[in-house]
């Protein structure tokens, strides 16, 4: 282990992150149908058509899971709240069982001295709202703000921090342009609208939570470093455009009240009416920003329609996701986010981690030195950014448990803790024990 707590500033927070649909078991506790259930039920979308019905059965095992968070020495637990568990129809009638669950979960964190860090939306949109167009419908900003009030009206008094939406790029581009995530659309008009409405919903939820008197509200964005695939102007422009719609679009909306010009070249004809008037809501004051970081991409031009580019396979060592391991990207993003957007505002790494095959051995152990190596390399970049003045206040590892990795089903294991998806038995991996020593 190449680090311990004393290598970080006093008060630096370590945490681990999960999300509701990926671990809770959506079939339990009266949750309503979501677009992930129907996406997964449609042939060809998800490996083995797996869904979040059982997840890791966290709904029943959350005490044991929080014991693992505590015993590892983490200060914080980043979890998400399922909209459809709280409001099965997306609006209107509340599922008391759902609210009660998040209430118990919150108290169970506090009893263990763990800081609750909530995300309101980590991708499971209630089906009745998907029927109305989901993120393509401008009304989602209002529906989402109402959900924020309902869930935070119950647990908001005990949250350490809250962010409205996990990874706006995934909600917008990945789900409406690439079609890899629910609702699986591949349509530029849908994408432009979803990307803008995600921002509007973010700002609307921030305002709703301010209205409840809540503090320490932020945003969580994901970033992938984009390098040109070749040393040409065309490849540089291609990488710059990828950077625009992936890494700059959302922060630019929130902090500069505008969208990147190269992205608008493709989006302008498809934007919803009146979008220019939404930036005061989108730019609602924030207390922190979280960056989720995993990898980089090489981008080169192609002759297809806008955005006229494609990913090119890179030469670096890869994880089980086929993602290149590129720790320098995290350093570059932390520096750039502070310099270009957030200034003195506290930053967090809200997700970072890797998937591995992680097989449980006959002697009952799971050895994952690759994960430890990945984390150490990224934490070295975190320390470098801090040393150069970036106001970074914490680091969250994705993830506590092996879980439902969306369209890739249950075989991409991101956990510090191995999960047997038949018996639901939890087995801490070697990386868990190493981290425990470092955090002691
Ligand atoms: C992030 C997601 C998280 C998980 C990791 C691997 O994009 O926020 O749910 O899928 O990637």
Is 376 marked active-site?
A: no
φ/ψ of residue 312, rounded to 5: -120, 140
Residue 34, strand partner residues? 126
User: Which H or E element spans position 225?
Assistant: strand 218-228
Supply the pLDDT for residue 161: 99
Residue 248: how many other CB atoms lie within 10 Å = 21
Supply the pLDDT for residue 1: 75
User: Which H or E element spans position 435?
Assistant: helix 430-439
The residue behind tokens 């009240």 is: 257
Ligand 1 touching residue 166 (CB < 6 A): yes
Q: Specify whether the CB–CB gap between 385 and 334 falls below 8 A.
A: yes
CA of 16 to the centre of ligand 1 (A): 12
Which residue positions in the chain have pLDDT lower than 50? none
CA of 86 to the centre of ligand 1 (A): 22
Is 324 marked active-site?
A: no
Question: Looking at residue 171, what DSSP letter applies?
Answer: I
Residue 348, strand partner residues? 290, 394
List the residue whose alpha carbon is closest to atom 4 of ligand 1.
405
List the residue whose alpha carbon is closest to atom 10 of ligand 1.
405
Ligand 1 touching residue 243 (CB < 6 A): no
Ligand 1 atom at minimum distance from 123 CA: 9
Buried/exposed code over 302-333 (b: 16+ C-beta within 10 A; e: otherwise): eeeeebebeebebeeeebbeebbbbbebbbbb
3-state secondary structure of 335: helix
Supply the pLDDT for residue 129: 99
Supply the pLDDT for residue 266: 98
The residue behind tokens 């439902």 is: 404
Question: Looking at residue 160, what DSSP letter applies?
Answer: S
Ligand 1 touching residue 414 (CB < 6 A): yes
CA of 224 to the centre of ligand 1 (A): 13
In a mutational test of the pocket of ligand 1, which residue from 16, 23, 224, 398 has the highest number of ligand atoms less than 8 Å from its CB? 398
CA of 234 to the centre of ligand 1 (A): 31
CA of 36 to the centre of ligand 1 (A): 14
Ligand 1 atom at minimum distance from 170 CA: 7
Q: Specify whether the CB–CB gap between 247 and 341 falls below 8 A.
A: no
Ligand 1 touching residue 124 (CB < 6 A): no
Name the nearest CA neighbour of 267 among 199, 187, 325: 187
Q: Specify whether the CB–CB gap between 399 and 17 falls below 8 A.
A: yes
Supply the pLDDT for residue 80: 99
Q: How far is CA 25 from CA 52, 194, 341, 412, in A?
A: 6, 27, 37, 18
């Amino acid at each position: 282990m190449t680090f311990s707590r004393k290598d970080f500033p006093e008060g630096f927070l370590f945490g681990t992150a999960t999300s509701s649909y990926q671990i809770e078991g959506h079939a339990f506790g009266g949750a309503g149908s979501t677009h992930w259930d129907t996406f997964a039920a449609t042939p060809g979308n998800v490996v083995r058509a797996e869904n979040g019905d059982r997840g890791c059965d966290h709904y029943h095992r959350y005490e044991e899971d929080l014991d693992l968070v505590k015993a590892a020495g983490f200060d914080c637990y980043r979890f998400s709240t399922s909209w459809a568990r709280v409001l099965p129809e997306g609006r209107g009638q509340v599922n008391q069982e759902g609210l009660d669950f998040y209430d118990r979960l919150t108290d169970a964190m506090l009893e263990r001295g763990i800081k609750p860090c909530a995300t309101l939306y980590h991708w499971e949109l209630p089906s009745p709202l998907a029927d109305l167009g989901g993120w393509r419908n401008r009304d989602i900003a209002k529906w989402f703000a109402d959900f924020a009030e309902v869930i935070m009206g119950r647990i908001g008094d005990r949250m350490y921090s809250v962010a409205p939406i996990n990874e706006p790029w995934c909600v917008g581009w990945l789900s409406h342009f690439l079609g890899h995530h629910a609702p699986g659309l591949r349509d530029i008009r849908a994408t432009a609208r979803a990307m803008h409405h995600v921002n509007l919903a973010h700002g609307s939820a921030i305002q709703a939570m301010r209205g409840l008197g809540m503090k320490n509200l932020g945003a969580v964005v994901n970033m992938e470093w984009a390098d040109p695939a070749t040393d040409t102007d065309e490849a540089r422009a291609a990488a710059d455009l990828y950077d625009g719609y992936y890494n700059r679009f959302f922060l630019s909306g929130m902090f500069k009240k505008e969208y990147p010009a190269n992205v608008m070249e493709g989006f302008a004809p498809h934007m919803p009416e009146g979008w220019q008037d939404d930036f005061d809501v989108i730019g609602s004051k924030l207390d922190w920003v979280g960056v989720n970081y995993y990898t980089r991409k090489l981008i080169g031009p192609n002759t297809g329609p806008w955005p006229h580019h494609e990913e090119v396979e890179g030469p670096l060592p890869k994880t089980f996701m086929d993602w290149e391991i590129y720790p320098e990207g995290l350093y570059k993003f932390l520096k750039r986010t502070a310099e270009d957007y957030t200034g003195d505002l506290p930053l967090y790494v809200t997700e970072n981690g890797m998937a591995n095959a992680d097989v449980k051995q006959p002697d009952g152990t799971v050895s994952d030195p690759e994960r430890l190596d990945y984390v150490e390399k990224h934490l070295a970049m975190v320390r470098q950014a801090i040393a150069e003045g970036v106001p970074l206040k914490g680091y969250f590892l994705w993830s506590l448990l092996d879980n439902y990795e969306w369209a890739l089903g249950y075989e991409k294991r991101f956990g510090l803790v191995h999960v047997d998806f038949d018996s639901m038995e939890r087995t801490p991996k070697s990386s868990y024990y190493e981290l425990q020593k470092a955090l002691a």
